[in-house]
Amino acid sequence: MLEIGLTHYLLLGAALFAIGLFGAIGKKHVISILLSIELMLNAVNINLLAFSKFLPLSNGAGEIFSIFVIVIAAAEVAIGLAIAIALYRSKGSLDLDKFNLLRW
Amino acid sequence: MMQSIVFFLLAALTLGGALAVINLKNIVHSVLCLIVTFLGVAGIFLTLRADFLAAVQVLVYAGAVSILVIFALLLVNQGDGKMAETNPYSRFGYLGVAAAMLFFGFLSFSLIKTTWQTTGIAAAATSVGEIGVRLLSQYVIAFELAAVLLLVAMVAAIIIGREVKDHA
């Protein structure tokens, strides 16, 4: 049985990030895109913690950075959902194809 | 042996949940699968000996964020009460698949080609006390900035989300 090393964790993070990227580009619903961004932030956290564990001299900095990523993600989702609710109130829909005010 | 079985089980749980988030038609089901993904990521954190981060992941993501998302969803999606087709692909769906595949191919190629100078021995687990001491000594400016950011985000969320008064 093979040993689980740094590359396995990084590949898992890359796969999770790619799935999140697919969702962020390919979905229509505003909240669905927020969910995809959450997936990508989680992938980043996996990478940070894997580096923190496997690389020398990191001295545990990865865990600190992950905490800050989680803080930013919490702020982002709170603002994002508030914007989604405000959008729904003014437009009556959360379909991104209908938000083309800036298109000429 | 045991370690790799646990890793692959958790990775399958995480990636399967993430794919379900993208592919399910009902957006409430998507959020429920997102909770599964978050729990899988928490398990991955445990295999990386980051106990505190795993606990924070469960509390903040699987607990708070997903419940907040479900609240917001049920506030905006009443309409006719039909949730079956609430999570469609946009017309960029195929572009998204292509971009994600290309990105993952490029990343995995370069990851496998790179040889990392790893320690060989796994680093010792960082204790909560150690994280706390570092947050308040070496990273104290970032810590305070994060606190201010959370306050600003809270105020902004309340102001953006509240009912708009008619000024006319």
* ipTM, 2 dp: 0.90
**pLDDT, mean of residues B28-47:** 93
Contact in structure between A33 and A24 (CB atoms under 8 Å): yes
Inter-chain CB proximity A36 and B22 less than 8 Å = yes
pLDDT for B27: 87
Look up residue B79 and give its two tokens: 């309409």
In this model, does residue B18 exceed pLDDT 80?
A: yes
At B140, is the pLDDT very low, low, confident or very high (cuts 50, 70, 90)?
very high
Give the H or E element holding residue B15: helix B2-23
Domain ranges of chain A: 7-98
β-bridge partners, A29: A95
For residue B32, give the chain A residue with the closest CA: A35
A38, burial (CB in 10 Å: exposed 0-12, middle 13-18, buried 19+): buried
B8 C-beta neighbours (distance < 10 Å), count: 13
Asked if the C-beta of B154 comes within 8 angstroms of chain A's C-beta atoms, the answer is yes
pLDDT for B148: 96
Name the amino acid, one letter, at B111: L
Would you put residue B153 in left (φ > 0), alpha (ψ -120 to 50) or beta? Answer: alpha
Distance CA B113, CA B75 (A): 48
In this model, does residue B149 exceed pLDDT 70?
A: yes
Proportion of chain B above pLDDT 70, given as a percent: 88
Place of tokens 């907040």: B68
Find the CB nearest B146 among A8, A66, A71.
A71
pLDDT for A67: 93
Name the amino acid, one letter, at B2: M
Look up residue B147 and give its two tokens: 């606190």
Long-range Cβ pairs for the range B77-86 (8 Å, 24+)? B77/A94, B77/B27, B83/B26, B83/B27, B83/B28, B84/B25, B84/B26, B85/B25, B85/B26, B86/A29, B86/B25, B86/B26, B86/B27, B86/B28
Nearest to B41, CA basis, from A1, A50, A58: A50
Widest distance between CA atoms in chain B: 70
Look up residue B130 and give its two tokens: 């150690």
Distance CA B41, CA B61 (A): 10
Asked if the C-beta of A91 comes within 8 angstroms of chain B's C-beta atoms, the answer is no
May I ask the CATH architecture of the domain A7-98? Orthogonal Bundle (1.10)
**pLDDT, mean of residues B66-82:** 79
Interface test with B, best of A42, A89, A99 (most B CBs within 10 A): A42
Higher per-residue pLDDT: B80 or A96 = A96
Contact in structure between B22 and A36 (CB atoms under 8 Å): yes
Distance CA A4, CA A74 (A): 31
pLDDT for A2: 72
Higher per-residue pLDDT: B55 or B125 = B55
Would you put residue A56 in left (φ > 0), alpha (ψ -120 to 50) or beta? Answer: beta
